[in-house]
A and B are shown apart, each in its own frame.
Chain A
Amino acid sequence: MTVKPDLAAGLALPFASTAPWKGSSARLEVIAVIDETADVKTFVFRPEGGGWFSYKPGQFVTLELPVPGGPVWRTYTLSSTPTRPFSASVTVKAQAGSIGTRWMFDTLVPGMTLTASGPAGHFSHWNHLAERYLFLSAGSGITPMMSMLRAMADTAPASDVAFLTCGRTPGDLLFRDELEMLARQMPNLTLGLMVERKSAADRWHGLTGRIDMARLKFLVRDYRQREIFCCGPEPFMAGVRLMLEDAGFDMRHYHEESFGAPSKAQTQPQTKVQTQSQAQATSAEATSEAKTVTDDATAGRVPSQVQGAAPTAAPPAQDGTAPAGYAGDGMQLQFSRSDVTTTCAPGTTLLEAARAAAVRIPAACEAGMCGTCKVKKTAGDVAMEHNGGITDEEIGDGYVLACCARPLGPVTLEV
């Protein structure tokens, strides 16, 4: 593909003569693809035909990806900062079985355009201004934190931020060089990089292991005085929540990008169609492929005493309400034909919960694609992020794919 002259020349139309990108009407044009780690890339966009981006750091966009067989919609947090408005970027990880992200990896090159909507979401420090911040992230949960930190570096470099991020190995830590550079430029930035294990290929002098209270206190003594933002796989966030609650932290100052089990108040059962209506989306709805990735990428790194245990209180949803049906012990699930009732932690898929309860649901791809695990739901609400394995008609008839549906409250399945 030949690069367009204006792309090659680095032309951007003057700020004053152009309008901000409107997600619903203007397409995005890829202007760069950057390799971050072995399986993570950053895709940089500009509005097609000129323009600039207006958003809050930490917000996300929804991309329509024209994969063979019909478009899929994927939601990605912007890793870029609105203080550099002429481009915006998403940083995504491709996992095995990925459709949309894999397509981006294989297909997107500069010059191509995508339909996108957004930006949207409430997960931004601009909504919770404070004197001191603590950013806690794992895996690609770092992207909204990076957006916020870059904005601070550009607009308020004296901001007091403790930035803790976790990766599996040193090579998996995203934006490591940039973070170290920002630490030199921002006098009040405390950087805490943590890996689950060292690797032979990369030098490592930082902390190893998983985040726990001892390590948190060691890195950030005054964490209690900070506005905390947390993003990562659900087990990671559940661990952080439990740790903070045990320590008596005032959870009104805790905010998370919760992907696994958004509260009912924030999220209707999510289908491909509903994903399109991004206007109503909240950050909690951003159950994205990239974020699903973080589940895999960091699973097992949560302290063992926390992992798998249901939190003792409702997950602190951003509007402060607890999900319906969440009663301390987890979500109640009823398998009517099997005459089995069980509970599961928020974020658990129906299939995982069924297996734990020894209820048999046939399954194959476990990626929302083949539809083998289709079951009839006779009561309750779920959040579902499928990959085309179920029709809207079937959803309308009450069917769900057990592998990619997570209960939002008590749920009854006809199995």
Chain B
Amino acid sequence: MDVRNDMLKRVKNRREGYSLDQAFYTDPEYFRLDLDLIWYRDWLFVGHDCEVARAGSFFTVQVGDYPVVILRDSDGQIRAFHNSCRHRGSRVCTEHRGSSARLVCPYHQWTYDLDGSLLYARQMAEDFDKSQFSLKPVACESVAGYIFICLAEKPAEFAPFAQLMQPYFAPHRLTEAKVAFESTIIEKGNWKLVWENNRECYHCAGNHPELCKTYPEAPTVTGVAGGDEDPDLTEHWTRLEAGGLPSRFRMHESGQFRACRTPLIGDAVSYTISGRPAVQERLSAEVSQERIGALLLFHYPTTWNHVLGDHAVTFRVLPISATETAVTTKWLVNKDAVEGVDYDLDTLTHVWMQTNDQDRRIVEENAFGIKSPAYEPGPYSELHEGGVMQFVDWYCRSVETRLTEGGKSLRSVA
């Protein structure tokens, strides 16, 4: 049976509140469809403004089959291009990150300006029209220090996300921060398993001793119920918003993104074993209130985030195959903070390095078990796993809508 119809049938017939059929987590053809339907269509978080601080700074990212380069041009604008030379397709930027006055293809030195235009191609025919061979642009937006790209030819509106997250994040000045440390781990599990694990803290007590010293396990904090019933949360929001920091739980109607400021346990102000700040210098001079907790953000399918008073931890999810996912974590601190003076790298990264590794193990065990022919979808905890259900609902709704776009019968187009 055609895989699109197969997926559509399984999405339509799925049991609400239950995990998905095995194919969603293991099947390479389903993975291809995930790329086509989700990853090549939605806005994807790729990195931070401060990673391309100067004109010519760039970093590269691989999304499915698409190599992309993100850079800052000489006007200060952040741009993204398909990282494929218009000559014979070679990757132009081969480094993970770097700085270059121009983008020069290493194969035949075709030279592109930072705006993507082809400046120079050696010894081409007299009538060769360089203007026809600029690097192909990729839609690129930056908001409050976060860079997003979209591979779709007609990207969805970015404004709704920017409008929701900007007031929460702008005060933290991540545009001017610096990445103190970055780690990328490969989790041997489908990207949706990585997300499902992230969207609940049901597993925290048994797996994350370090994180649980500071991060509350309450489902109201991690989930998507809104938290209005939780007096700790509402008190936290009222106090911070009185001081000018947007904090209340807000989620877009699509369910694709939400922002919310959550308290940490007791007097903790940072994700350290002691709960004390990991960085002496505050992340942003604009945010001077004490005990602001963690500003949480998720944006499906690429990022979840925790912004604290002294640092921020940001996460990027990128799919590699049906059963492999890359998770990149970045620790952002005030750009003037000095390692070894204002912060100790081990103290800064310890909790989330441990937590990430624990999560990796959990996801891999989960993936391992799902491969069993005996696996069948199981029920989520309504109390603890509302966030997971919301994620799976978003996924299924997106996939179903896009599989049935234009009202065409899938059978007729298959």
- Give residues in A with beta carbon < 8 Å to B: 68-70, 364-365, 367, 369-372, 388-391, 393-394
Q: List 29 A-B contacts (CB under 8 A).
A: A68-B113, A69-B73, A69-B74, A69-B115, A69-B119, A70-B75, A70-B114, A364-B122, A365-B122, A367-B120, A370-B102, A370-B104, A370-B111, A370-B119, A370-B120, A371-B100, A371-B101, A371-B104, A371-B111, A372-B109, A388-B101, A390-B101, A391-B55, A391-B56, A391-B101, A393-B54, A393-B56, A393-B99, A394-B101
Task: Say whether B117 faces chain A, with CB atoms less than 8 Å apart.
Answer: yes
Q: Which residues of B contact A390 (CB under 8 A)?
A: 101
Alpha-carbon gap, A364 to B108, bound state (A) = 8
Alpha-carbon gap, A367 to B119, bound state (A) = 11
Residue of B nearest to A365 (CB): B120
A347 to chain B, nearest CB (A): 24
Query: Does the CB pair A69–B101 fall under 8 Å?
Result: no
Q: Which residues of A contact B102 (CB under 8 A)?
A: 369-371, 388-389
Alpha-carbon gap, A393 to B119, bound state (A) = 21
Alpha-carbon gap, A65 to B402, bound state (A) = 48
Q: Which residues of A contact B113 (CB under 8 A)?
A: 68-69, 388
Query: Does the CB pair A365–B109 fall under 8 Å?
Result: yes
Residue of B nearest to A395 (CB): B101
**Which chain B residues in 73-105 approach chain A with CB under 8 Å?**
73-75, 99-102, 104
Alpha-carbon gap, A393 to B98, bound state (A) = 12
Q: Which residues of A contact B104 (CB under 8 A)?
A: 364, 370-372
A385 to chain B, nearest CB (A): 14
Q: Which residues of B contact A369 (CB under 8 A)?
A: 102, 111, 119-120
Query: Does the CB pair B101–A389 fall under 8 Å?
Result: yes
Q: Which residues of A contact B109 (CB under 8 A)?
A: 364-365, 370, 372
A72 to chain B, nearest CB (A): 11
Residue of B nearest to A370 (CB): B111
Residue of A nearest to B74 (CB): A70
Residue of B nearest to A364 (CB): B109
Q: For the complex of A and B, list the 3 residue pairs with the smallest distance between their C-beta atoms, beginning with the closest.
A: A364-B109, A70-B74, A69-B113
Alpha-carbon gap, A320 to B108, bound state (A) = 45
Query: Does the CB pair A68–B120 fall under 8 Å?
Result: no
A367 to chain B, nearest CB (A): 8
B99 to chain A, nearest CB (A): 6
Query: Does the CB pair A69–B117 fall under 8 Å?
Result: yes
Known: A365-B120, A369-B119, A393-B54. A69 touches B114 (CB 8 A): yes
Alpha-carbon gap, A393 to B72, bound state (A) = 14
Given contacts A371-B100, A371-B111, A393-B54, 13 further A-B contacts (CB under 8 A): A69-B115, A69-B117, A70-B75, A364-B109, A364-B120, A370-B104, A371-B102, A372-B104, A389-B102, A389-B111, A391-B55, A391-B101, A393-B99
A403 to chain B, nearest CB (A): 12
Known: A364-B120, A365-B120. A391 touches B115 (CB 8 A): no
Residue of A nearest to B120 (CB): A365
Alpha-carbon gap, A372 to B102, bound state (A) = 10
Q: Which residues of B contact A388 (CB under 8 A)?
A: 101-102, 113
Residue of B nearest to A99 (CB): B119
A390 to chain B, nearest CB (A): 5
Residue of B nearest to A388 (CB): B101
A405 to chain B, nearest CB (A): 14
Alpha-carbon gap, A250 to B108, bound state (A) = 51
B263 to chain A, nearest CB (A): 42
Alpha-carbon gap, A394 to B100, bound state (A) = 9
Query: Does the CB pair B119–A391 fall under 8 Å?
Result: no
Query: Does the CB pair B117–A364 fall under 8 Å?
Result: no
Q: Which residues of A contact B100 (CB under 8 A)?
A: 371, 391
B131 to chain A, nearest CB (A): 10
B146 to chain A, nearest CB (A): 25
Residue of A nearest to B54 (CB): A393
Residue of B nearest to A71 (CB): B74
Q: Which residues of A contact B74 (CB under 8 A)?
A: 69-70
Query: Does the CB pair B117–A68 fall under 8 Å?
Result: yes
Alpha-carbon gap, A394 to B122, bound state (A) = 24
Q: Which residues of B contact A389 (CB under 8 A)?
A: 101-102, 111
Alpha-carbon gap, A369 to B119, bound state (A) = 8
B385 to chain A, nearest CB (A): 49
Q: Mark B357-394, 1 if CB is under 8 A from A, else 0.
A: 00000000000000000000000000000000000000
Q: Which residues of A contact B114 (CB under 8 A)?
A: 69-70
Alpha-carbon gap, A68 to B75, bound state (A) = 10
B347 to chain A, nearest CB (A): 31
Q: Which residues of B contact A394 (CB under 8 A)?
A: 99, 101
Alpha-carbon gap, A369 to B121, bound state (A) = 11
Query: Does the CB pair B115–A68 fall under 8 Å?
Result: yes
Q: Which residues of B contact A372 (CB under 8 A)?
A: 104, 109
Q: Mark B43-61, 1 if CB is under 8 A from A, else 0.
A: 0000000000011100000
B273 to chain A, nearest CB (A): 38
Alpha-carbon gap, A70 to B56, bound state (A) = 12
Q: Mark B178-192, 1 if CB is under 8 A from A, else 0.
A: 000000000000000
Alpha-carbon gap, A389 to B112, bound state (A) = 10
Residue of A nearest to B101 (CB): A391
Residue of B nearest to A390 (CB): B101
Alpha-carbon gap, A341 to B119, bound state (A) = 35
Q: Which residues of B contact A69 (CB under 8 A)?
A: 73-74, 113-115, 117, 119
A402 to chain B, nearest CB (A): 14
Residue of A nearest to B123 (CB): A364
Which interface residue of B54, B99, B113, B120 has the most chain A CB atoms within 10 A? B120
Q: Which residues of B contact A391 (CB under 8 A)?
A: 54-56, 99-101
A351 to chain B, nearest CB (A): 14
Which interface residue of B101, B108, B109 has the most chain A CB atoms within 10 A? B101
A107 to chain B, nearest CB (A): 15
Q: Which residues of A contact B117 (CB under 8 A)?
A: 68-69
Alpha-carbon gap, A388 to B111, bound state (A) = 11
Alpha-carbon gap, A372 to B108, bound state (A) = 10
